[in-house]
Amino acid sequence: MQVANLLKKKRFEIDTVENNELSRDLSAWGLTAMGVGAIVGAGIFITPGIIAANYAGPGAMFSYILSAAVCALAALCYAEFASTVPVAGSAYTYVYTVFGEIAAWVVGWALVSEYMFAVSSVAVSWSAYFQSLLSGFGINLPEFLSVSMGTAGKSGGVNIIAGLVTLIIGLILSRGTKESTLLNTVLVGVKVGVILLFIFVAAFYVKPSNYTPMFPFGFKGVVAGSAIAFYAYIGFDAVSTASEEVKNPQRDMPIGIISSLLIASVLYAAVAGILVGVVNYTKLNVADPVAYVLQMMNQNWVAGIISVGAVAGMTTVLLVMSYGGTRLLFAISRDGLLPKSLSKVNKKSKVPVFNTYIFAILASVIAMLVPLDKIAELVNIGTLFAFSAVSLGVIFLRKLDNHKDMPVGFKVPFYPYLPILSFVMCVILMTQLQAVTWMVFAAWFTIGLIIYFSYSLHHSKLHHGEENDLNDKDLDAE
């Protein structure tokens, strides 16, 4: 084995984009809806209260704004890559282009954990919320079928609903990008409408006195709160996995990435600001602060609508994160680093169907059998790792010898200072993660290296002179 092979880069060619097998059905609006669908989930109904009560007080809205600023730095870097290298695979593909294969595999493997575990964790939350709605109609599943074994305070067994909803999402995605995007857009509309309804109704109950003192824990509390709020924004990077299915990637990718983050930031900050204005921040350390505030306002009719919005919100997260995971596996498989069956595209739906089913089954098994607190440990660190790699990668992207031949549609401003700042901020946030998270990540990282050196290294198309033949006969449609 030569070390040079590990560092070999994949040279981007425009033919890769023009001859891809995936259908180009997505517009800037569809990408924006996808981004909002991924970012704004159940967290908007939960995290603002936790941050206000324990970290930032009435200044919780500034925690979201600060966190959004850090995400915006990474988003700008993603936007330049997405418009310059409009190929499926997100950070994996970008790193492959500028740093080489071994770095790309490590980032791609980290992203697999982000998408897989994010889908599983949201499915568990979706199950809990759905079961709560069912209990309102007198329908209660036995505990053995309602939560997984090892869940705190429960005997548990198998979370059957979490598993089923994950499989259903996979089935929807297998029908085609156009169909799943339409469903996502409708659900995002419902979700945003419900959030706006809450803001409008609750605004009439705001008491200015609740905003004093604005920063009871000091600015340090706002920063600590932003570290928690950051994880509420996880998901906007899933937009970049859609590059090969966008009508005009050079124009639409930057619009989709940046606008979805902007919309989500405004919604998060607004909900946090309204919550602390209606009820004193010391009372918001509850599991569902939005429902609690509505109860205090005696607006129970709105609470029912909020429940619908929460389910819709989690469904869109499941759709987009599942989509991102399948397109990531598609890109890695197409390069030969995973079995080629994962990159076969169905002629009718123009979707990697087998890949989609495999991803749904794996995520379903995890959702059914593993407790929520254990699932979530890998999501955050995998995302930050990818963000830092992309931020640093932008600096090297512009130094590629064929950069002038790439379809550049967007450039990060204040280069190279802004990408460097983004990289540093991501690393700082990674250092704030718990030791157990690093241990789990190390174990996942080790498994990834074993797979790479035992399979991927020997099947890599790059090492067999096929790096630019991404649509060869081996990838014939099913």
Q: What pLDDT is attached to residue 253?
A: 78
Q: Is the pLDDT of residue 478 over 50?
A: no
Query: pLDDT band at residue 378, thresholds of 50, 70 and 90?
Result: low
Q: Are 234 and 379 in contact (CB under 8 A)?
A: yes
Q: Which amino acid is at 216?
A: P
Confidence of residue 107 (pLDDT cuts 50, 70, 90): very high
* CB distance 353 to 174 below 8 Å: yes
Interval 389-416: pLDDT, tens:
999 999 999 888 877 877 777 788 899 9
Q: What pLDDT does 474 receive?
A: 38
Proportion of the chain above pLDDT 90, given as a percent: 23
Residue 277: what pLDDT? 94
Average of pLDDT values for 130-134?
77
User: Among residues 126, 132, 46, which one has the least CA distance to residue 304?
Assistant: 132
pLDDT of residue 71 exceeding 90: no
**Rounded distance between C-alpha atoms, residue 356 and residue 181, angstroms:** 15
- Residues ≥6 apart with Cβ < 8 Å to 413: 76
What residue ranges do the domains of the chain occupy? Answer: 3-471
Token code pair at residue 133 = 């709605």
pLDDT in tens, 421-468: 999 988 887 887 778 778 888 888 999 999 999 999 888 888 776 554
3-state DSSP assignment of residue 417: helix
187-239: pLDDT as tens digits: 888 888 888 988 998 999 999 999 999 999 998 888 888 877 776 777 777 77
* Best CA proximity match to 125, nearest among 159, 153, 173: 159
* pTM recorded for the entire structure: 0.78
Closest CA to 199 of 117, 273, 298: 273
State the pLDDT at residue 90.
78
Tell which residue, 72, 13, 461, 51, has the closest CA to residue 263: 72
CATH number among 3.90.1150.10, 1.20.1740.10, 3.30.70.420, 3.40.50.720, domain 3-471? 1.20.1740.10
